[in-house]
Amino acid sequence: MLLTYHFKNALTGLKTNKTRSFLTILGIVIGITAIILVMSLGAGAQNFILSQVQGLGTKTIAVIPGRQPKGPSDAAQIFSDSLKEKDLVELKKKSNVPNLAKVMPVVFGGETSLYENNTYRLTVFGGTELISSIFDLAPAEGQFFTEDEVKSRANVAVIGSKVKEELFGAGEAVGQKIRIKNLNLRVIGVLPKKGQVSFFNFDEIVILPYTTAQEYIFGIKYFHRLIVEADGEKNIDTVAEDVRLTLRNAHGVSDPDKDDFFVQTQADLAARLGAITTALTLFLVAMASISLFVGGVGIMNIMLVAVTERTREIGLRKSIGATNNDILTQFLIEATALTVLGGIIGVLLGAGLSLFIGQMLQRFAAVPWPWSFPWLGALLGIAVAASIGLIFGIYPARHASQKSPMEALRYE
């Protein structure tokens, strides 16, 4: 028989039992929806994280205290106090790092701010006057502090837009004083709405000289980070290596395995985070794929029931000339058509849900979530669905094709 005739018979059989057909493909729909949803959200998360990491610029290098974590047991190493003022002095020497353009020490932590009767939990970020160029920041009101104010440990601060809103409302912020711990800080600038840059939300931040933050807020004499900027993208690796050698000499370290700091370029961080998000996405896809197997078993069971219910139909078709291969082909087409249809519905549903979640994150969480449609995942999903239809449809189809015409016609 012609293949088109087999398709026509298969579709007629599916239309006749719409409810059973829907229940048959439900497992496939759920499985493919979960896979597409996970892959789309995983790709969006990866793009979002990478965009935040790259917010510092491609020429930026982070120097982090402590031994580089290689597993969960090493996580505490990042709280080391190994980066100090003498390291900053050494890095600023042109003879040590010839291609260094800028270097800025950073201290940060969560604190509560107070203005009159208003309080707000924010991030205290201590840096230098270079923060405006490194993070591409320009105050919407007022100005940034100067190099002299950094040296003199001035009690001045630049606040984020959310901080202004929470503490001052519609009132004037520049010139007013806010209190953090026992320190009164004069507000000299207000940032425009900036959102997340790298790992900091600059709408919920107060920026002050690192010397002030060290002395009066945190009570420390070390840095949480050193942010280094190369004089060109082509010199990033050279600067990173010069920074390592300079700090090893300053710390008296001869064995690189005993470094009490680690250097991380934006490319390194992007690659590391990309690998983590990819691995997590693949793990979740593997978990979601279990439902596809369950759906395949369900299809086999439903098709076996269908074969039993249509025994007389099979006998009638065989009595007028249909061969075993004709019956086998028809039932295989039915199983494959069901799974492919389930795959298409699952792809559309998964894409729609991921788009909806992305829109909700943008609207209610102010997260610039990039929606991504996983074309490869969609094609693979439909291909896998078709394969499941073939694999799990073979036994019921073969069972149908081997029925005796006479016994089938006598079936009640």
Structural domain spans, the chain: 3-52+271-409, 81-259
Q: Is 60 helix (H, G, I), strand (E, B) or coil?
A: strand
Check: CB of residue 32 under 8 Å from CB of residue 350: yes
DSSP string, 92-153: H-TTT-TTEEEEEEEEEEEEEEEETTEEEEEEEEEE-TTHHHHTT---SEE----HHHHHTT
pLDDT on residue 338: 78
Stronger pLDDT, 44 or 408, i.e. the higher one: 44
pLDDT on residue 328: 76
**pLDDT, tens digit (0-9, with 9 covering 90-100), for 358-392:** 888 777 765 667 777 888 778 877 887 788 777 77
- The overall average pLDDT reported for the chain is 79
**pLDDT, tens digit (0-9, with 9 covering 90-100), for 157-211:** 999 999 999 999 888 999 999 999 989 999 999 999 887 766 678 889 999 999 9
From 212, 115, 103, select the one nearest 157 (Cα to Cα): 212
- Measure the CA–CA gap between 165 and 113, rounded to whole angstroms: 13
- Measure the CA–CA gap between 23 and 25, rounded to whole angstroms: 6
Q: Is the pLDDT of residue 288 over 80?
A: no
From 42, 44, 64, 40, select the one nearest 52 (Cα to Cα): 44
**pLDDT, tens digit (0-9, with 9 covering 90-100), for 112-146:** 999 988 999 999 999 999 988 888 888 999 999 99
268: left (phi over 0), alpha (psi -120 to 50) or beta: alpha
pLDDT on residue 6: 54
Token representation of residue 183: 């320190």
Stronger pLDDT, 235 or 78, i.e. the higher one: 235
The structure's pTM equals 0.59
**pLDDT, tens digit (0-9, with 9 covering 90-100), for 68-110:** 766 544 444 445 788 999 999 999 999 999 998 989 999 999 9
What are the backbone dihedrals phi and psi of residue 315, each rounded to the nearest 5 degrees, phi first? -60, -40
Q: Which residues contact 393 (CB under 8 A, 6 or more apart)?
A: 299, 300, 303, 331, 332, 334, 335, 336
**Which pLDDT band holds residue 232 (cuts at 50, 70, 90)?**
confident
- Measure the CA–CA gap between 14 and 313, rounded to whole angstroms: 14
- Measure the CA–CA gap between 239 and 261, rounded to whole angstroms: 15
Stronger pLDDT, 81 or 148, i.e. the higher one: 148
Q: Is 357 helix (H, G, I), strand (E, B) or coil?
A: helix
- Measure the CA–CA gap between 347 and 21, rounded to whole angstroms: 18
- Measure the CA–CA gap between 283 and 289, rounded to whole angstroms: 10
**Which pLDDT band holds residue 221 (cuts at 50, 70, 90)?**
very high
If 0-12 CB within 10 Å is exposed, 13-18 middle and 19+ buried, where does residue 355 land?
A: middle
- The distance in angstroms from the start CA to the end CA of the chain is 28
Q: Is the pLDDT of residue 408 over 90?
A: no
Stronger pLDDT, 404 or 337, i.e. the higher one: 337
DSSP string, 18-56: HHHHHHHHHHHHHHHHHHHHHHHHHHHHHHHHHHHHGGG
Check: CB of residue 331 under 8 Å from CB of residue 311: no
Token representation of residue 333: 């087409």
Which of 6-10, 40-44, 393-397 reaches the highest mean pLDDT? 40-44
